Structure formats: structure tokens, C-alpha cells
Amino acid sequence: MKHLSKFFFGIILFLIFICVSKTSAFADSDFETSYSSIYYVSENGIVDGRQDITIRNLTDNKYVSQYSMTVGSVDLSNIKVSDNFGSIAPNIEKGNNFTKIGIEFNNNVVGLNKEIDLKVSYQTPDFAIVKGQVLEVNVPSIARKDDLGDYKLSLYVPLKFGKPSFISPQPDSQQQTGDKTVYNFSHNTLLKNDSVFAAFGETQYFDFTFEYHLNNPNKLPTRTEISLPPDTAFQIVHYNSISPEPERIYVDDDDNWMAEYIVPPEESLTVKALGWAEIFLEPKNELKANPLDSLEKQRYLVKQRYWEKDSPEIQKLTESIKNPEDAYNFVVQSLEYDYERLNKSFVRLGALEALKNKESALCTEFSDLLVAILRAAGIPAREINGYAYTSNDKLRPLSLKQDVLHSWVEYYDENKELWVPIDPTWGNTTGGMDFFNKLDLSHFVFVRHGLESEYPYPAGSYSDEAKEKNIFVEFSEKGNADKNIQISNNLPLEDVAGLPIKGKIYIKNVGNTAYHSKKAVLSTNGTSKEFDISVLPPYGAFEIPVSFSTKWTDDKPQIISLQFDDKISAFEVKVVPFYQYLFKNIVNELKNLPASLKGYLTGIPFI
């Protein structure tokens, strides 16, 4: 089910000073500017923004005659401007991802402590997004803060969305006004933050259909594999169907879910996966991967193709990098997104080339450079490929050519024992919106690249040239999470006393939802053994080896039981003494003899 979706973006304000004397140069200290920003969010995600700006003259012989305001949105409407002396017709200039509002004041105000009161209002769909019952709001702080007098911001949000599940920074006060809750932010609070981000609703839901086109041109059958979007600390993926069913599903060392298939010789195979996903703002403890030990951390610090972390150029950058946020800010501020490259054949440049071509970056260059810098600084990092929803590809571009996918980064936080997702590309293209401290509900992980920089391939890259799209994702309501397992075995029905009983018990996930951090308890002969299962994906199976000894004197059935989650299955193996087992088998063999041989052995003449 598709829902109305609007995206948010940044805003940058700056003053252009025009002096009376052409030879005069004005400093920021000549004027003091105060801002009062108000944002009214409607139920459909449209934001009415208003900036009340007061410019106070700190001199007696200079004045401001022009003002320029750049809003990070190409979709502004109902733009209205006025000053102390009346309305003003603004000059509107649209760029790739911004709208510039040029303002010529009606009169010049000269004199110490004289003020110009400027009011700018507009509507935009780019500061809020409504997804079903979930609302995200990201309203900007002011970029220029060196000449500020007072600064405050008020955010009006409809009561129907309830309390915020996340809000940063914390408001200084809040109150209810009519059908809206007002969140107020003070001067000191705003100076420490680049934006105000709030989420109302903790979870986003996506329906998806993925198609994987596999081709085997060889004369022999080929075993191949595809990657299925996995669970992460921030998402759960439910698979209602995978057709045809894979030979097996396993979890690789990067926690990717890999499905194996055998493609017949000189044939093609199309795999279709359908399901729904939950995306969370806050990590779920039960979904967190096991903490990285020292050896595992080292594996996420080595160089790889595209992550030239040992190069002198990247090593030098680490001199000023003290933490992950420093690395993130450097990449966001240093690279420039190249929209022209979107129309050309995709070539992944890598970290070193990104440094040499800072004005020609796509999401892969932002991600590769950040991964390389983090690794060079001793911070485990990896690249993520996946789906990221955007309603405006100028504000939030998607760079990967495989079915318009996106790339971002995860770094490992040792204190939280958590892989933390961050998006340097959108941090850049949205004018500095904060995609470091909190990722939004629009990023859907398809595959992780940590131990290798290029493999596995994400969903959407197993393409059919005849089809333009192979992934289909849309907003939805919460679906049905079905947990169900099937326990089977290949144990013998009967065995000989004194000999070990051997076999396997299989736990197969036949539901649409994975099991995490579970134990399987095998009980035999009054003893038990535990098996840790970190994750059991849908369609996945776990094998438990069974081997236990019996006594020569045993003559009763042996019960083997397995407990997994809330299900207990018991299997019986009949144990018989050796002489009974031997006699029984002799009798069975005799029964299977030809009639002529049976007669000979029983003394009946052969006819």
C-alpha cells in the first residue's frame, strides 16, 4: 500500500552586505541578526515555514540593502516576503537541489541600533515525510551562526501522530495548542545542533518483491548463490515465499543471508522472493550481532579494493581524525556529488580516486572514502548496499545502477557493541542534515560488504536485460510475522545394543521470520547438550549431530528429545540385544530368498 511521502532537506541562510561607500568593507560585527523560525507540519507532511529575521545595525553609517536566503528544496510554493515598509517581490533562482530567494529591501535603514524586520514564508514538502502512521520531521538549523543575536525555533506537529519516539535535540519546552503539539528550542540548544530531527512512530514497513535471474551457459549444472536482505539490529525481514525454494540458506561471515541454487546446464532460472520488512529507528537488542573479538575487528581494518587505507594520502588524513564523526564530517564537507555522472556508465572509483576527484563523487565514493578513512584510523567499518526511499533524487540521490540502489556505511561502536549506520552522501546532498547521529526509516539493507568490498551482490543486480526493474518496494502496513519450525531426523528406527546410535536431527524454519540467539537442547540417555544458533533465517536449516553409546545389556527403546524455542520433539530408537538383532536379520534374509533356495534349505525336494 502506497502512502503519501514527503522528504525533508536543509536550509542555509546568509547575508550579503552592500556598503554606502564603494571603498568600505563591512565586518560581521557591524550587524547583529536574530532569527525566529516556525514550522507548521500538516497531517499530509506539507510544512509551512516562516522565518522572522531582525537585522540590527551596530554602526551609525552603514546599512544592509539586500538579503539572500537559500532553502535546500526545489519545491517551494506560496513564497511571501515583506519588511518594515511592506511586501517585497523576491527574485527566485532554482538550482539542482536548492531554491535561492533574493530580496531587495524597500528602504535602507541607517543609524545605530536601527532595525530591519524581515518576514519570509513558504510551503515545502521537503522537511517532513508521512509514511502510513509514521511521521519524520527534519527541520534545519541556521548555517551561519557567527553574527547571531537571538535564535529560537518552534515546531508544530499534529496531535494525531502522538508522542515522538525520537527527538534531537531535546526541546526546551513543549505545550499543546489546538490540534498541535508545539516543541520549542532555545538559542543555546540550537547552536549545538545542525538540525532538529523528530520521529513519531518507531517503525516503518515495506512490502517487497525481488527477482533474481540466474543463467548457466555451461554444459554442466552450476551451483550458484544469491543474497537475500538480512535481519540487522535495525530491521527484520519476513519472507512469505521464495520460489523456487533454495537448496540451502546459510549466513556468511558478514552476516549476509545467502541462498544456494543449482542451475541446470544451458538453462536459466528466475528466483522470486516476496515478503515485508520492518525498519526501526532504535536498534533491537535481540537482533544485535555478537560483539566483535580482537581478531574479528582486525578483519574490518584491512585494505580492500576501493578501500586503500594504507595509502599515504589517506593515512595523512587520520592525523586530524579522532573519532567516527570526524571522519564522517570530513567526507561530507570534502566531496561534491556529481549529478552528471548519473547519466554516464557507472564506474566505481574507490577511496583514493575520490580524493583526487573531489568534485565528481557518487554514493560509492562517499562510502568508499569513509570506510577507508575509518579503517586507517583503526575503526572497524564496512559498506552497505540497499534500498533507500527518496521522493526527490536531487535531494537524496541513488547512485548504484543496479535497479537504482544506494550505498552507505556502518562503523563498529565498541562501547555499544553495535554496527552503527551512517549516510555521508545524503549528509552532503541535503546541505548538512544529520545522518550521523540518527539514520532515518528509509534505509533498507540488502547486503553488507566488509570482508570483501564487492561481494556478495545485492538484490537488484541479478538482472534480466529484458527487464528494467527487478526490485519492487513500497510502503505498507504491518504484516503477519509467522514463526514456525519443522523438526525431522534420519535416525535409525532400530539399532544394536552396545553399538553407538548415530544420525542427525534437522531444525528447519518453515515460517517467514528468523529466529535469533536461540539454543537447541539435545537430550539422550539422561544427558543433555546445548547448541547455540545465532540466527536461523526463513527457509534455513540447522543440523544437529547425534551420537551416543548404548550398553550390551540395553533392551529398551532409547528416547532422543530436542527442545528448540517452545517446541519439544522426541524420537524413539528401538535397541535390541545383538543375538536378537542377528536372529531377526537372518530370518528376514531367509524370507527374501528365492523359492527354490528356500525349499532346498528346508529339505523340500526341488521341482
Domain boundaries, the chain: 11-201, 289-450, 485-576, 577-607
Strand-pairing partners, residue 434, are none
* 8 A C-beta contact, residue 10 and residue 140: yes
pLDDT at 51: 92
What's the average model confidence in pLDDT over 43-59?
Answer: 92
**Cell numbers for 328:** 564522517
Cβ within 8 Å of residue 30, ≥6 positions away: 17, 57, 58, 59, 62
Helix (H) or strand (E) holding 428: helix 424-429
Question: CA separation (Å) from 203 to 183, 296, 388?
Answer: 22, 31, 15
What is 11-201's CATH number, 3.40.190.10, 2.30.30.100, 3.30.930.10, 2.60.40.1730? Answer: 2.60.40.1730
Cβ within 8 Å of residue 166, ≥6 positions away: 197, 198, 199, 202, 281, 282, 438
Note the pLDDT tens digit of each residue in 367-422: 999 999 999 999 999 999 999 988 777 778 887 766 779 999 999 999 999 999 99
Instruction: Find the largest Cα–Cα distance for the chain.
Output: 138
> CB neighbours (10 Å) of residue 245?
12
Q: Which residue type, as a one-letter code, is found at position 501? A: I
Answer whether 11-201 and 289-450 agree in fold: no
Q: Which residue type, as a one-letter code, is found at position 24? A: S
Note the pLDDT tens digit of each residue in 324-377: 999 999 999 999 999 989 888 889 999 999 999 999 999 999 999 999 999 999
Sign of the dihedral defined by the CA atoms of residues 320, 324, 325, 328, in that order: positive
pLDDT at 606: 42
pLDDT at 403: 73
Q: Which residue type, as a one-letter code, is found at position 581? A: Y
Cβ within 8 Å of residue 98, ≥6 positions away: 12, 70, 71, 72, 73, 74, 431
**Cell numbers for 200:** 513519531
Instruction: Tell me whether residue 259 is exposed, middle or buried, using C-beta atoms within 10 angstroms of its C-beta: 0 to 12, 13 to 18, 19 or more.
Output: buried
Dist. CA 458–CA 384, nearest whole Å = 9
**What CATH number should be reported for the domain whose range is 485-576?**
2.60.40.10
Note the pLDDT tens digit of each residue in 300-313: 999 999 999 999 99
Dist. CA 539–CA 534, nearest whole Å = 15
pLDDT at 593: 65
> CB neighbours (10 Å) of residue 517?
14
Return left, alpha or beta for 402; rule: phi > 0 is left, psi -120 to 50 is alpha, else beta. beta
pLDDT at 363: 95
Across all residues in the chain, what is the average pLDDT?
Answer: 86
Q: How confident is the model at residue 562 (pLDDT cuts 50, 70, 90)?
A: very high
Dist. CA 440–CA 433, nearest whole Å = 11
pLDDT at 512 over 70: yes
What's the average model confidence in pLDDT over 144-169?
Answer: 84
CA 200 centroid distance within chain: 19
- % the chain with pLDDT above 90: 59
pLDDT at 203: 86
pLDDT at 180 over 60: yes
Dist. CA 146–CA 185, nearest whole Å = 19
Q: Which residue type, as a one-letter code, is found at position 227? A: S
pLDDT at 5: 32
**Cell numbers for 133:** 502512521
What is the three-class DSSP state of 161? helix
Lowest mean pLDDT among 104-108, 303-307, 597-601: 597-601
What's the average model confidence in pLDDT over 142-158?
Answer: 80
Between 551 and 260, the higher pLDDT residue: 260
Note the pLDDT tens digit of each residue in 471-487: 999 999 899 999 999 99
pLDDT at 163: 85
Instruction: Tell me whether residue 179 is exposed, middle or buried, using C-beta atoms within 10 angstroms of its C-beta: 0 to 12, 13 to 18, 19 or more.
Output: exposed
* 8 A C-beta contact, residue 142 and residue 194: no
pLDDT at 11 over 60: no
Q: How confident is the model at residue 224 (pLDDT cuts 50, 70, 90)?
A: very high
Dist. CA 206–CA 343, nearest whole Å = 28
DSSP at 4 = -
Architecture of domain 289-450: Roll (3.10)
pLDDT at 20 over 50: no
**Cell numbers for 552:** 550390551
pLDDT at 123: 95
Between 254 and 495, the higher pLDDT residue: 254
What is the three-class DSSP state of 170? coil
Dist. CA 32–CA 43, nearest whole Å = 36
pLDDT at 607 over 70: no
